[in-house]
Structures are given as C-alpha cells and as structure tokens.
Structure 1
Amino acid sequence: MVFPKGGIMKKTRINEEVLKMRFDDIYGRYKGKQIRTDEAAELLGISVRTFYRKRERFDEEGFDGRFDYRLGKPAINRAEDSEVQKMTRLYEERYRGFNVKHFHEYAQREHGLKYGYTWAKNTLEKAGLIRKGKRGGDHRLRRERRPMAGMMLHQDGSTHRWITALDYNLDLIITMDDATSDITSGFLVLQEGTDSSFQGVKETIEEHGLFCSLYTDRGSHYWTTPEAGGKVDKHHLTQFGRGLKQLGIQHIAAYSPQARGRSERMFLTLQDRLPKELELNGITTMEAANDYLKKVYLPRHNQQFSVKAKIEKSAYIPWIGGDLNEILCHQEERVVQNDNTVSYEGLRLQIPRDDFRYHYVRTTVQVRRYIGGDLGLFFGNRCLGYYDAQGHLKNEKMELKAA
C-alpha cells in the first residue's frame, strides 16, 4: 500500500485499499478454482450477486476507480447535526441514568424523536454518555408459562429506594400473571406483610376476577415453616394462607431463587425505570407515587411488556362471593368478658346493646382486622360492630353479613 506524500491517508482511503487487497486475494483464489463463487462471496461478506458485479468491474477496469462508491459519502438518511445535539443534550440534562431503551421511548413519545433505537444507542455511545454494553447476556433455561391467563399468578415484594427524594427504602408489592406477565396489582408500602399481600390479591380479583393459584416465596406472612429453609406446613396456615383457602385459590411455595426468575427479572426492569420516572415527574411522596403507578406507569408497562397467552380464553371468573374485605383480613377468636368487651392487641372493644340477645358474656366471637387497621366484631355471621384502628365504635347499627 502506497501512502500519499506529505500526509496521512484518510480513514475512507485506507478502507478502500484494504477492500481492494482483500478482493484481489480472494478473487485470485477464485480464478485458480481453489474456492467456489458462494465461498468467495461469503469470505468477502457480500452476496453472490454483488460478487458477480465486482468481478465484472475488476475484469473491465481493475478497480482504477473506487471499489465501493458508498465509501466517503454521507448516508442519505443521516441525521442533522442539530438533531444529534438536541438528543444528546436532552439525555444529558434531563434523562441522565435512563437506559437507552427507556430513554428512546420517552424521546419518541414526548420529544418527537424520529430515529430508531440503534441510532440513539450509537449516538449516545459516541458522545460518551453511556458505556458500550457487552454482547449477549446470561444463559437462561426457559420455563414454560401457563397457557391461559388467570391460571397462576406470582406475588412478590422488592425493597428499594423507589423514591429518590426520600432517605429510606420502600417495598413495592407486585402481583403478576404468569401467562402474560401482566401486572395485575402494584403499589408501594412502608413494609411488606400480610396486609399488603391481601391488598394485591384483592385488587387483582376486583379488576380481573378470581384466579386459580398463587405462587409466592416462603416468607413468614405467606407460610409457616417449622424448620428454617425446610418445607412449608400446609396444615397450619397463616392468615394469608387461610384467606386464599377460603377463596378457593391454590397456594404454591417457591423452593429456589430460580423458580422466581420471571418476577425477579420484572423487578430489575422496574428498579431501572420506575425511580427515574418518579424523579423526572417530581414525585416525592408514597401517596403520589402510588397514584402515578396506578394511573400512568402500570398501564404503559403492561402495554409494552405483556405477552400474548398461548390460549386466548381466560381462567379468571367473576367474583360473586360478597365483600372481599370480610375474607382478606386477619380473623381471630376471642371470648367476651363480663362487661361485654373483647380484648384485642391492647384495645378494648365494647359490644353495644342490641335486640338480638341480652348479652354476649362468655361467648366466642371473631375479631376481624381489615386492610388499613379498622376492626369488625362478629358473632357467627352477625356483625356486632365496626371499630376504627383505635378501637372506637364506628356505628351501632347491627347488620347481618355473610362471613
């Protein structure tokens, strides 16, 4: 290769010479019948048709002209410099930290970006705003999804700094359909527990209907586990397990981290995207974040990440069993004391006078603690009273309710 005097060969000129030399070598082997036409084309990384064209040009003019007329010419659909500057400035000033796919979605939806994901990724890499990712990913074994929506749901929680303006973590509770990856319920709480698990199931049933089974980890609010790391006790149920049984929902325990892979990967997506969106929208409270989750983020997330179930029919069935609050709650028995009161978690619940009987002394009643802390007192199916979280009677009207 001969370099021009007095300077350094430009990159396009170097590429031109390298391609010529490579073609000359492979074409010589082709002419000597050492390789076939398709093999020569494959070695050059071009189609057989393109190889024929370049062979004809080489025989006619020996590439005295250009080997590839595209080299050195700007692409027809090349973005304007102003568009590149606008996009890089937008990422740097407003969306710093977003992954490329997340940023590209916002840029197209909110700022009218007309170029594709690959262009955005390459441009941000060239500008030094993101690091070049490694090729490929972790090797995973595929677990078949349930074929129909409503056959099995996952529920799990993730502790994370979801709201960056706060100096403490919150728990995000997610209930997700195995067949479609559709998030049927999602909200933030101070700490995961029985009430948050009840709420996830309640919201799912109210929105979609009663489902067949629920897959969870072996946390203490889900299961009783006699030995640490051992099998769960399916006979001594937790309050949550009792609620599922009362609804007729099968409860399935996970025995390995791999078994929860689908929900774990979903949380990685949420941890990458949700905090950035909350910060971008100036959300600094858990209440505002839950409102944004329900009205904006989850509908958009489901539209983007949900998949089509193998069978179009749904296994969800409408709930017609009465008030879900009376099932998805803590239920404990107490014996009424001589002054017609019941002791419950440090509170004294006074049973009001009614026309059904003179008193309830020494009878066994059921205390129900609902999601949020309010209480209910029942004698069989008969409601004796509703109380606030401090134990104050909310009403004195006796109502017959289904248990």
Structure 2
Amino acid sequence: MSGRELERGSVLERVQLGSIDLGAAASLLGLSYRQTRRVYARYKAHGGAGLVHRGAGRPSNRSHPSAEREMVMSLIRKHYGGKKERGPHERFGPTLVAEHLWTDHGVLVAVRTLTRWMIDDGLWSRARKTRSVKHPRRERKARFGDLIQLDGSFHDWLEGRGGMMTPCLMTMVDDATGVTLLSFEDHETTWAATKVLRAWIGEYGIPRALYTDWSNVYKRLLTAGERTRGESEAFTQFGRMCEKLGITIIAASSPQAKGRVERAHGTHQDRLIKKLRLRGISNLEEANKYLRGDYIRAHNARFSVRAADEVDSHRPRHSVTMGDEDIYCLEYSRTVGHDHVVQYETLSLQLDPRVRGRVPAKSKVLVRESEDGGLRVIKAEGLGRHASERVLKWTPAPPRSAKPSKPSSLLQAAIETMLSEVPETERKPQPPKPCPDHPWRATHRRWVELARTSRAAPMQTTEKDE
C-alpha cells in the first residue's frame, strides 16, 4: 500500500468508530462527498485491501506489447548497440536511437520509453561526468548574423576508414540561432576557412563579425617591425579577406569564450560519427556530400532556435563591389625592379612594356594568388573613395643569376697561402704603378692646389671687409 492509501485507511477507521462523519472525512481526504462514500463502502467490504488501486499489479492499457518491445530491442542491439571493446561512445543514446528507429525503420517509440528499456537491458546508463561550472554563459546575440563562431575540430571522424586518421571538421555556428554550416577538410588552413566562409555567404549573406581563435589562420599579434612602424592591427590572409568584406574578427582568449561552437563539436563527435558509420562513408568527398544533402538540414531543424530579434543582420554579397578573384586570394606586396621584373617566390614576372611609364621602378605593386595558383599583378592607386586598381599584364621572365657568394675567411686564408707558394715567375703580372713624377700625379697635384686657392680667396676678402 502507498502512503496515501494508508492515510485513507486511518481516516476511514475513525468514521467506522463514529468519531467523525463522512463530511468531515471528505474534507480531510480532499475528496468529494460522493467519492468518499464509494471509498468507505469498499473499505467496509474488503478492509484495507479495498483501498489499493485496482490497476496495481496489472499491465497498463497503454503499454507496448512484449513482441514489439523485443523487436525494438533486437534492432537496437543489431544496429545501434555498438562494440563494447571500442568504448562507451560507440553506443547510440536513446534520443538518437529514437530518431533512427523512425527514419530508418518506421518504428515510433517515445524517448523515455526507450531510455527505460535500454537501461533495463544494459544498453545505456544515466551516469554522466560532473563538471564544475567556472565560466558563466553569456547571452546570445539578438539577431541572426550578428556574430558567427568559427572553429575547426580534428577528430577520427571516419574511424580509420579509407586511411583517414584525423581530418578537420570546419564548423560555423550562428550565435543567435545556432544555425550550423559544416565542411570536412584535410587541415585547418586559410583556404579551408575561406571555403566554409564562402559557403556561408552564398547561403545566408555576409555576417557582421566572426568569433575565432588566436592563430596564424584567423588573427595574429603585431610583429616587432609592425609595432615600430606604428601599425595598429595585423592581418592574416584570411583576416585581409574579411576586412575587404567588412567582417570584424574577434579573437577568443579561451575555448570557453566561444563555448557554443566547442559544444557543437561534442555534439557532432557523438552523432555525426555514428551516422557516417551507418552509411559506410570512408572518404571526405562522400562525407561532404552527406553533410550538404542530409545532415546539416536535419541538424538545424532539430537544434536551432529563433532569434530574439527577427531582423536579419546579414548583408547581401553584391553590397561589396570587389570581385571574388580580388577578395578570396593570397595578397603580397612586392617592389618593381629596375628591369620591371616583379619577384614572387621563385617566379620572375616581367611586366608588359606598355605599362612601364605608369609603373616606374621601385614602385609598390600587389601580387594576388588564387586557390588554383593563378597570379595577378595589381597596381593600387589613390585612397578612400578615389582608390582604384589596375591589373598589369606580365609574362614569365628568366630567373636572375645568383650573386657570387663571398668566400669565407678560412677559404680566403687558404687561397692566399696557396698563392704565396706559387713562384713569382708563374704568378700573373700585376699592372705597374705610376712613379711619383708621372704626369698623372702632377696633374692631380695641380687640381688640388687650385681647389685650395679658390677656397681661400673668399676668406681673405671677408677679413679685409672687417
């Protein structure tokens, strides 16, 4: 018997002894007068056993048939149970199991029911690692596109299939809504970040700001030379691209500062790995095709939320007039040589002769390298609203001959020693030096005397005036 049934028994016993009537008992039990009469009748007929709920010990009318339960558990063991020798992360959780039972097998079971069944069969555990909260979460941004968190996650996403060990998953998460965009890359490089940024801009527009790490890819500190020149900000190649698009890069000082994208990594490392395993995906091309086709759409439908402000902060791509080839490129400053050749790494770029008058020697030009390796030489002119760019034609030039290296001191000493051992008769004759009374020397002496006399004449004139 439950505690409530025992309490009813004690009150109805007082009614039976005549110390209180049914009206007072109804008030004490919190029941209506009619319900109290029915309960008291069962108590008089069957005693304390009549107060026990009649459904106790009987299966629920809404319970699943045992055959259905066995069928569901067999599917879980076969497809979603995982291998114990690979660790607990192999097993699917009840929430993910419920999704796949419905999408892959057409079986609809509540998550709480699955949780109870999986715990009873030893396929799941409620145990979780306890963490101490040290960094309070900040409030989300109000508008979609105000702040996008960008980061890469190296992990064994394909579980060794196809020889891929730890590819990088590039992740962009909107701070206001949680909308996510993903892309698999070999490494977290400038071009990998550019690829996922271009995909975001093509899908939603240009965001206001990016929240990234301090790294050589996204944002870096000023060098000693830049501080000496008085520069206030240092740009990476990716940072220069964002600067052209009008995107502000904010660097986080700790992983907790951009916790939204860090927690998203944990979600993908649990759900995405298992989904890739079910489909037998073994290379990054197939993985990216699955991301674009199914996973990203389903993930956003489940985990994204509405922004506090319905206004979209993204700007359209056409608001920036520069072309893609001038934005998504590696840009370096170079000096034009006296022969109008621009050196770029191991290449020599000979400028077209027709532009030599407008691009003098020792002037600065920009060399822009696209992702496919194409090179463009740009001459920037003007500032602010009057700024313009001119594309300079060029052709490959033969590389410049290397300057002869100076011999080291030891080598020079060895050469002098060898020359000293050569007999004087075999040495190369040296040109004779002119004698002291040679006409050359006499002429030089006359020039020196004339120069001294001409300098002394103005000084004598000044003394006479005084």
State how far apart, in whole Å, the 1-side matches of 2:137 and 2:38 are.
Answer: 45
Are the counterparts in 2 of residues 153 and 176 from structure 1 also a CA contact under 8 Å?
Answer: yes
Runs (5+) with no aligned partner, structure 1: 1-17, 42-46, 228-232, 393-403
State how far apart, in whole Å, the 2-side matches of 1:300 and 1:342 are.
Answer: 51
Are the counterparts in 1 of residues 98 and 109 from structure 2 also a CA contact under 8 Å?
Answer: no
The aligned counterpart of 1:383 is 391
For normalisation by structure 1, the TM-score amounts to: 0.76
Considering fraction of residues, name the structure with more helix: 2
Is 1:73 paired with 2:58? yes
- Aligned partner of residue 63 in structure 1, secondary structure: helix
Q: 1:52-71 residue pairs with structure 2 within 5 A?
A: 56=40, 59-61=43-45, 62-65=47-50, 67-71=52-56
In structure 2, relative to structure 1, the CA distance for the partners of 1:294 and 1:373 (3 Å cut) is: farther
1:56 aligned partner, one-letter code: Y
Q: CA deviation at 1:372?
A: 5.2
Is 1:23 paired with 2:5? yes
State how far apart, in whole Å, the 1-side matches of 2:243 and 2:281 are.
Answer: 38
State how far apart, in whole Å, the 2-side matches of 1:182 and 1:146 are.
Answer: 13
Are the counterparts in 2 of residues 198 and 329 from structure 1 also a CA contact under 8 Å?
Answer: no
Are the counterparts in 1 of residues 42 and 51 from structure 2 also a CA contact under 8 Å?
Answer: no
The aligned counterpart of 2:155 is 160
Runs (5+) with no aligned partner, structure 2: 82-90, 224-230, 381-388, 398-466
Q: 1:145-224 residue pairs with structure 2 within 5 A?
A: 145-164=140-159, 165=161, 166-183=163-180, 185-224=181-220
Is 1:122 paired with 2:116? yes
Q: CA deviation at 1:105?
A: 0.7
The aligned counterpart of 1:244 is 242
Are the counterparts in 2 of residues 26 and 40 from structure 1 also a CA contact under 8 Å?
Answer: no
State the Cα deviation string for residues 123-175 of structure 1 (Å, max 9, x = none): 12222222234599875844211111011111111111111113510111111
- Aligned partner of residue 94 in structure 1, secondary structure: helix
State the Cα deviation string for residues 104-135 of structure 1 (Å, max 9, x = none): 11111221112211111211222222223459
Q: CA deviation at 1:328?
A: 3.0
State how far apart, in whole Å, the 1-side matches of 2:247 and 2:50 are.
Answer: 75
State how far apart, in whole Å, the 2-side matches of 1:213 and 1:253 are.
Answer: 11
State the Cα deviation string for residues 304-357 of structure 1 (Å, max 9, x = none): 111000111211121112423422322101234566654334x31544757555
Larger radius of gyration: 2
For normalisation by structure 2, the TM-score amounts to: 0.67
In structure 2, relative to structure 1, the CA distance for the partners of 1:286 and 1:64 (3 Å cut) is: closer
Q: 1:4-403 residue pairs with structure 2 within 5 A?
A: 18-19=1-2, 23-24=5-6, 27-28=9-10, 56=40, 59-61=43-45, 62-65=47-50, 67-96=52-81, 97-134=91-128, 141-164=136-159, 165=161, 166-183=163-180, 185-225=181-221, 235-320=233-318, 321=320, 322-337=322-337, 341-345=341-345, 347-351=346-350, 353=352, 356=355, 362-371=362-371, 373-380=373-380, 381-384=389-392
In structure 2, relative to structure 1, the CA distance for the partners of 1:126 and 1:294 (3 Å cut) is: same
Q: CA deviation at 1:94?
A: 1.7
